[in-house]
Structure 1
């Protein structure tokens, strides 16, 4: 492995790992390194973490008010007894801190070992992907990218997670072939399924046969006619499936009888190439009417990515709600913003007629149409750290804005941030405040349409991460019967605000601010002041629900998902009874606590 690639994997992995650790543990302090270390080239600003008879020292490249810092590798481990030091590369650092975290959380040896295994795999995958894309780094961070290219440019994944590139149990070859970074794509596999072994639900009257025919008609390498007797036997339906998942389904005990009696007939992959988006389980083909989202029996970050029936139901419900007059009003109000709706889903049924989560597939509207003067980039690709410690892709966009508008970088950064707030954050904020609609808009769920470097259109995707506040329940005249008791997407105000703040602010908006600050474009405080004013401007009497905006302006603490604690405890977030149990509080940099004026005595003679 090239030393520079290994160092880049250490740097990126350390940033993701340490940022997750620092948000969930308080056994660290920020300070200065010894003068003699600085003379030898060690950073002046350091993070120190005492661990019994030794102290871990990590150089700080940039410290962010918004909580996404950049670090310097290798670190140093100082032995308290004799003052001796040794250099510590990422995997050694990770082992030390995982053991430290396990001791503080009463973690088991087995869970700790599995966590370390995932960290090692994530680091190995990142090294492999950096080597694969080594000659393209300049393009990925500096040049214009299509939607597909921008999805494939997300080298890191989750920027605040201790093992962001884990893909268990995929092999390295499979991770390249079916992951977004590999680039070559793959053809869809197909299945013929007897109608009594198939469940399909749609928010509108479009049948499954019609949706599949739309996919076929958009693919010049397929010529099936679903209404023709020669292509699909009577009593069967043709459906697409993910080729990697199909091999897992063929070994699934619940499907063995159906495969044996040919109630399910697997067909080989065929048709044009599809490409994984940044989430991996959602795939895209240019000009196809839908993106397709599949259950994958793969652990990514905190969970095995099996879609649950209630998650798919949420997408269908959002489509029904947006089709109402009030929903249409929302669409007309924000013409520079679109929701990639998920109006339909399907799954296979077991012998008892119960849905099998491993077989779920969701149809997502494909709203992306490539244009010469417009590029569509997922937000996470813009804010990710550069592997060679150069500036982010976001910085390149701000430089483009500065060039086209003939303004300085700081002014261009504020202009870019203002446009981002207008086309992406404001529609999502007022969806909550005026309509009671909650969209889990983290960085990989926000896509920006960019012209001359500037955001001109916003998109939200992944409707499984949606819900309704009490305002939304009333406004859309929903009750538990309409929601379905299993959808689990009705939230009381306090819970709604915790989740909404994490996804929309901490994960997305704060990452934009951190990236701009770390790249030296502008001081973070200026962008935080801009964000503060944005909230104040939108805190008007016409808001049906002011609680979230007031939370951002007045609460000193926000709630952050505990990715590190989830990992060290070896939890599957997707099946937890109470996902909020892994959330922890972090400081809210938007809130400014006004200090009471000092009382001054007046002497009267």
Structure 2
């Protein structure tokens, strides 16, 4: 039978939270099992034990460590606890250990009045419990589902049952009732039609960097459904996510416009869509575009809304990336553009809730095989299956008659060539940095080895202030999006976290956990490739690569600390999250226990 869905979810919840705690709060005290004599009665199986001191509770936790990762993604077993006065260790459920860590964390956090601290602690506990429960629900529903082994784009998108590996509440979905998960949650692979509104043209704003206008793209998408739908003269059809449509119908400004005949709800129309891994971006294999909507749901840290400023930014970046010619120079590296947008302008706020971003869909039927997000490749094994990365490497090794280690090194070399090096070149040559974390990064593995990289996310661009004049000459539209420009020092921190720490190190850790090749071998390979790349750089990527190769610590986005302070980063100034730092495995710096340091980097 194996463990229950609840037990699997509990272990996943524990791993996610502990990963964050060790990175952001306390790296722990590590002891070889052979030298661990404090608890001789414990049933420890791993080679090491990680001990966390909870001084405020006069307690300690000892965590059986089955695999210790240089890149930071360890694999843990059972947990035991010691309380002052007991003079012995005892077993504890993983979720109870998490609750103890949360209590310790809020006890260490200064600068909050007691009532605010309690309120934020309650918020984190609620999100943690919800994420745990939702994960159990998803695992129970998808056990035995053969689509978990499919390589179709939408199947791999919907296979992320455990979610963000570096987030303490990866499946928190506040605002999405349980009965709606089966339709709108990607993990349950539901299908639905979009809701449409007929809106008087005087209220509609739109833009497009493509040959078709935004409203013509909508019309083409609608034609794939149950028959053509044509708007009345002087009106524009606006698609909305069904969850957002329910919210819109409660808004006074929308209800007033409906009463005046300026907005008319049409209900669900057109082809069937399904959610991608972000929940709010939807996909149909029959449609040339995906649609990214606002939805009234808090996912991980943030309420997911399209900001008005982001609409034009996506369109401008579609034009800019085209004009750089980068895709021609690096055909194996592609930025998926968001070339068009629509919204309805209503009095009272900058965003009405109708904001929709139209994204190119390179993965229509017939072109959707072998496409994986790096989050899907590196996710822990699901329901007794090997990880997706291990399955790919084993298949290649069997076909080629070579060792897993040899194939792994070749696979990793090609991954660096199509995903990491071009991203650094784009920043160095053109001053464009990408929020290239695991979920925003896709690989074409249709041939087994990485042959092409895709980046997605109109919210994830950083333009170098030092390249402002060059970029404005290249694409005058960037003058209307000054919020995209950042100082290079700030870009270095963010880009280093997203590209190197979040994406690259997660791939290295997966290879190590799966016992395909030693992490040290891949870290050496990264040092060698970046060392060869550095002399050919002459722009803003130079200090970034130097930092990665030489600094003992690297910037790290603290999702746990962001959650502790209840920061909605998408609505904060400059989308500011809490940043800290971690030891750099490329310099061999050993992790040392440090006190909690909460600081924000804009």
TM-score by structure 1 length? 0.90
Bigger mean CA deviation after superposition, 161-170 or 571-580: 571-580
Question: Aligned pair in 2 of structure 1 residues 246, 257: CA closer, same or farther (>3 Å)?
Answer: same
Contact 1:292/1:364, CA 8 A, preserved across alignment: yes
Task: Tell me whether 1:166 sits opposite 2:162 in the alignment.
Answer: no
Once the two structures are superposed, residues 366-402 of structure 1 have per-residue CA deviations (whole angstroms, 9 ceiling, x without a partner) of 0114548941111101101124576411111111221
Residue in structure 2 matched with residue 115 of structure 1 by the alignment:
124
Residue in structure 2 matched with residue 588 of structure 1 by the alignment:
584
Residue in structure 2 matched with residue 314 of structure 1 by the alignment:
313
* Equivalent of residue 126 in structure 1, options 135, 142, 158: 135
Contact 2:472/2:479, CA 8 A, preserved across alignment: no
Question: Aligned pair in 2 of structure 1 residues 248, 478: CA closer, same or farther (>3 Å)?
Answer: farther
Shift of 1:83: 2.1
Residue in structure 2 matched with residue 49 of structure 1 by the alignment:
52
Separation of aligned partners in 1, 2:523 and 2:314: 33
SS at match of 2:472: coil
Question: Aligned pair in 2 of structure 1 residues 260, 3: CA closer, same or farther (>3 Å)?
Answer: farther
Shift of 1:578: 5.0
Aligned residue pairs, count: 578
Task: Tell me whether 1:434 sits opposite 2:429 in the alignment.
Answer: yes
Contact 2:13/2:95, CA 8 A, preserved across alignment: no
CA RMSD, 1 decimal: 2.4
Q: Which runs of 5+ in 1 are unaligned?
A: 227-231, 594-605
Separation of aligned partners in 2, 1:95 and 1:190: 44
Once the two structures are superposed, residues 21-49 of structure 1 have per-residue CA deviations (whole angstroms, 9 ceiling, x without a partner) of 11111273222465585665323522211
Separation of aligned partners in 1, 2:89 and 2:473: 63
Once the two structures are superposed, residues 281-309 of structure 1 have per-residue CA deviations (whole angstroms, 9 ceiling, x without a partner) of 11110031111000111111111111112
Shift of 1:206: 3.0
Residue in structure 2 matched with residue 597 of structure 1 by the alignment:
none
Residue in structure 2 matched with residue 93 of structure 1 by the alignment:
97
Bigger mean CA deviation after superposition, 47-56 or 388-397: 388-397
Residue in structure 2 matched with residue 511 of structure 1 by the alignment:
506
Task: Tell me whether 1:241 sits opposite 2:235 in the alignment.
Answer: no
Contact 1:404/1:452, CA 8 A, preserved across alignment: no
Residue in structure 2 matched with residue 418 of structure 1 by the alignment:
413
Separation of aligned partners in 1, 2:369 and 2:580: 39
Task: Tell me whether 1:378 sits opposite 2:386 in the alignment.
Answer: no
Question: Aligned pair in 2 of structure 1 residues 297, 372: CA closer, same or farther (>3 Å)?
Answer: closer
Once the two structures are superposed, residues 481-510 of structure 1 have per-residue CA deviations (whole angstroms, 9 ceiling, x without a partner) of 953576522121111111101111111111
Shift of 1:220: 4.3
User: What is the correspondence of 1:131-210 to structure 2 with a 5 Å cutoff?
Assistant: 131-136=140-145, 140=148, 143-204=149-210, 206-210=212-216
* Equivalent of residue 400 in structure 1, options 388, 395, 399: 395
SS at match of 1:199: strand
Question: Aligned pair in 2 of structure 1 residues 69, 484: CA closer, same or farther (>3 Å)?
Answer: farther
Separation of aligned partners in 2, 1:411 and 1:205: 46
Once the two structures are superposed, residues 167-213 of structure 1 have per-residue CA deviations (whole angstroms, 9 ceiling, x without a partner) of 00111121231011111311111111112222212234632331112
Separation of aligned partners in 1, 2:211 and 2:243: 31
Bigger mean CA deviation after superposition, 111-120 or 21-30: 21-30
Contact 1:302/1:573, CA 8 A, preserved across alignment: yes
Once the two structures are superposed, residues 434-470 of structure 1 have per-residue CA deviations (whole angstroms, 9 ceiling, x without a partner) of 1111111111111111134211111111122112113
Bigger mean CA deviation after superposition, 153-162 or 470-479: 470-479
Task: Tell me whether 1:339 sits opposite 2:335 in the alignment.
Answer: yes
Question: Aligned pair in 2 of structure 1 residues 254, 21: CA closer, same or farther (>3 Å)?
Answer: farther
Separation of aligned partners in 1, 2:498 and 2:279: 19
Task: Tell me whether 1:223 sits opposite 2:228 in the alignment.
Answer: yes
Contact 1:562/1:584, CA 8 A, preserved across alignment: yes
Separation of aligned partners in 1, 2:260 and 2:92: 58
Separation of aligned partners in 1, 2:551 and 2:228: 58
Separation of aligned partners in 2, 1:470 and 1:512: 31
Question: Aligned pair in 2 of structure 1 residues 415, 39: CA closer, same or farther (>3 Å)?
Answer: farther
SS at match of 2:273: strand
* Equivalent of residue 74 in structure 2, options 69, 74, 84: 69
Shift of 1:18: 0.8
Residue in structure 1 matched with residue 439 of structure 2 by the alignment:
444
Contact 1:373/1:451, CA 8 A, preserved across alignment: no
Task: Tell me whether 1:81 sits opposite 2:85 in the alignment.
Answer: yes
Once the two structures are superposed, residues 324-373 of structure 1 have per-residue CA deviations (whole angstroms, 9 ceiling, x without a partner) of 2xx12x11111112211001112222225x53163221000001145489
Separation of aligned partners in 2, 1:235 and 1:372: 37
Q: Which runs of 5+ in 2 are unaligned?
A: 590-602
Residue in structure 2 matched with residue 600 of structure 1 by the alignment:
none
Bigger mean CA deviation after superposition, 25-34 or 507-516: 25-34
Residue in structure 1 matched with residue 9 of structure 2 by the alignment:
9
* Equivalent of residue 567 in structure 1, options 534, 540, 563: 563
Bigger mean CA deviation after superposition, 481-490 or 535-544: 481-490
